[in-house]
Amino acid sequence: MAEWVRFGISALFAAVGIFAFISAAVGAFRLDYVLSRMHATALADTVGIGAIAISAAIAAGVDFVTLKLLFSAAAMVLTSPVSTHMLAELEYRTGDELYKHVKFKVGKKWERLK
Amino acid sequence: MGNLLYNYEEAVALILFSIGFMTLLFHKNLLRKLIGMNIMDSGVYLFLASMGYIYGRRAPIVENGDVSAVHYVNPVPASLVLTGIVVSVSVTAVMLSLAVRLYERYHTLNLDEIYAAARTRREHR
Amino acid sequence: MKKPKTQPETAKSSGTAASSIKKWLDFDLDIDSLPVPPPRESAEDDGGDETPLLSRIPKSAPRFVYTALAAICSIVLTATLILTVEGMPRYGEDQDYMDTVTYEYITHGMEYTGAVNIVAGIILEYRAFDTLGESFVLFCAVTCVLVLLRADSADSQPEDVVFRDLSHDAILRRTVRAIVPLVFMFGVYVLLNGHLSPGGGFSGGAVIGAGLVMVSAAYGGDVSGRIVSERVFKIVTTCALSFYCLGKSYTFFTGANGLHSIVGNGTPGDILSAGLILPLNVAVGMVVACTVYGIYRMFDKRSF
Q: Highest mean pLDDT: which of B92-96, C89-93, C258-262?
A: B92-96
- Which pLDDT band, with edges at 50, 70 and 90, does C51 fall under? low
Q: What is the mean pLDDT of residues C248-258?
A: 88
**Per-residue DSSP letters for A76-94?**
HHHHHHHHHHHHHHHHHHH
Q: What are phi and psi of C181, to 5 degrees?
A: -60, -40
Where are chain B's structural domains? 8-123
**Average pLDDT of A84-106?**
82
Within 8 A of C93 by CB-CB distance, chain B residues are 54-55
State the best of B50, B62, B67, B71 to mutate against chain C, taking most chain C CBs within 10 Å.
B62
Nearest CA in chain B to C295: B93
Please classify residue A87 by burial: count the beta carbons closer than 10 Å to its beta carbon, then call 0-12 exposed, 13-18 middle and 19+ buried: middle
Could you tell me if B80 and B112 are in contact, meaning their C-beta atoms sit under 8 angstroms apart? Answer: no
pLDDT on residue A19: 95
Q: Which residues of B touch C198 (CB under 8 A)?
A: 59, 61
Residue B95: its H or E element: helix B76-106
**Does the pLDDT value for residue C68 go beyond 90?**
yes
What pLDDT digit, counting tens, does each position of A43-94 carry? 888 999 999 999 999 998 888 889 989 998 998 898 899 989 988 888 888 7
Reported as a pLDDT band with limits 50, 70 and 90, residue C57 is low
Question: To which H or E segment does residue A109 belong?
Answer: strand A109-112
Average per-residue pLDDT in chain C?
81
CB contact under 8 A, B124 and C49: yes
Dihedral of CA C90/C91/C96/C102: which sign?
positive
The answer to whether B67 contacts C107, with C-beta atoms less than 8 Å apart, is yes
In angstroms, the CA C209 to CA C109 distance is 31
Q: Which residues of A touch C169 (CB under 8 A)?
A: 85-86, 89
**What was the pLDDT predicted at C59?**
63
pLDDT at C11: 43
Higher pLDDT, C215 or C1: C215
Size of interface B-C (CB pairs under 8 A): 182
CATH annotation of B8-123: 1.10.287.3510
Of A75, A82, A94, the CB nearest to C171: A82
Would you tell me how many other CB atoms lie within 10 Å of the CB of residue C25? 8
pLDDT band at C2 (very low <50, low <70, confident <90, very high): very low
The answer to whether the Cβ–Cβ distance between A82 and C175 falls below 8 Å is yes
Does the pLDDT at position C281 exceed 90?
Answer: yes
Q: Please tell me the distance from the alpha carbon of residue B102 to that of residue B108, in angstroms, as a whole number.
A: 8
Q: Is A72 on the interface with C (CB under 8 A)?
A: no
pLDDT of C146-201, one tens digit each?
999 887 765 555 555 555 666 778 888 999 999 999 999 999 999 999 889 898 89
Sign of CA dihedral A22, A23, A28, A29: positive
What radius of gyration do chain B's Cα atoms show?
A: 21
> Which residues does residue A111 pair with via DSSP β-bridges, in sequence order?
A104
Dihedral sign for Cα atoms in the order B67, B72, B76, B80: negative
pLDDT at C256: 86
Q: What are phi and psi of B110, to 5 degrees?
A: -80, 125
Inter-chain touch A94–C164, beta carbons under 8 Å: yes
Query: Measured between beta carbons, which residues in chain C are less than 8 angstroms from residue A72?
Result: none
Least Cα distance to C248 among C127, C112, C128 occurs for C128
Phi and psi at residue B54, in whole multiples of 5°?
A: -130, 135
Give me the pLDDT at residue B8, please.
86
Contact list, A80 vs chain C (CB under 8 Å) = none
Q: Residue A104 phi/psi, 5° resolution? A: -115, 160
pLDDT at C1: 45
Q: Kindly tell me if the per-residue pLDDT of A25 is higher than 50.
A: yes
Q: What is the predicted pLDDT for the residue at C224?
A: 86
Residue with more model confidence, C259 or A8: A8
Which residue of chain A has the CA closest to C163? A93
ipTM score for this prediction: 0.87
User: Distance between CA atoms of C272 and C49, rounded to whole angstroms?
Assistant: 70
A1 interfaces chain C, CB cutoff of 8 Å: no
Q: How far is CA C111 from CA A51, C105, C116, C277, in A?
A: 43, 10, 9, 14
3-state helix/strand/coil string of B48-66: HHHHCCECCCECCECCCCC
- The shortest C-alpha distance from A55 to chain C (Å) reads 24
pLDDT (0 to 100) of residue C28 = 59
**pLDDT-based confidence at A14, cuts 50/70/90?**
very high
Residue C180 distance to chain B (closest CA, Å): 23
* Domain range summary for chain C, segments of one domain joined by +: 60-87, 116-150+162-301
How many angstroms away from the CA of B44 is the closest CA of chain C?
12
pLDDT at A108 (0 to 100): 83
Closest Cα in chain B to C197: B61
Contacts of C172 in chain A (CB under 8 A): 82, 85-86
Q: How far apart are CA C197 and CA B57, in angstroms?
A: 17
Which residues in chain B touch residue C81, judged by CB atoms under 8 angstroms apart?
14, 17-18
pLDDT at C9: 45
pLDDT block averages, 10 residues each, chain B of length 125: 81 94 93 95 93 86 83 89 93 94 89 83 55
What is the predicted pLDDT for the residue at C20?
Answer: 75
C115 exposure class (CB count in 10 Å sphere: 0-12, 13-18, 19+)? buried
Q: pLDDT tier at A107 (50, 70, 90 boundaries)?
A: confident
Give strand pairing partners of C268.
C270
Q: Which of C154-168, C212-226, C284-298 has the lowest mean pLDDT?
A: C154-168
| Closest CB to B61 among C43, C137, C197 | C197
User: Nearest chain A Cα to C176, which residue?
Assistant: A79
Q: Between C129 and C53, name the one with better pLDDT.
A: C129
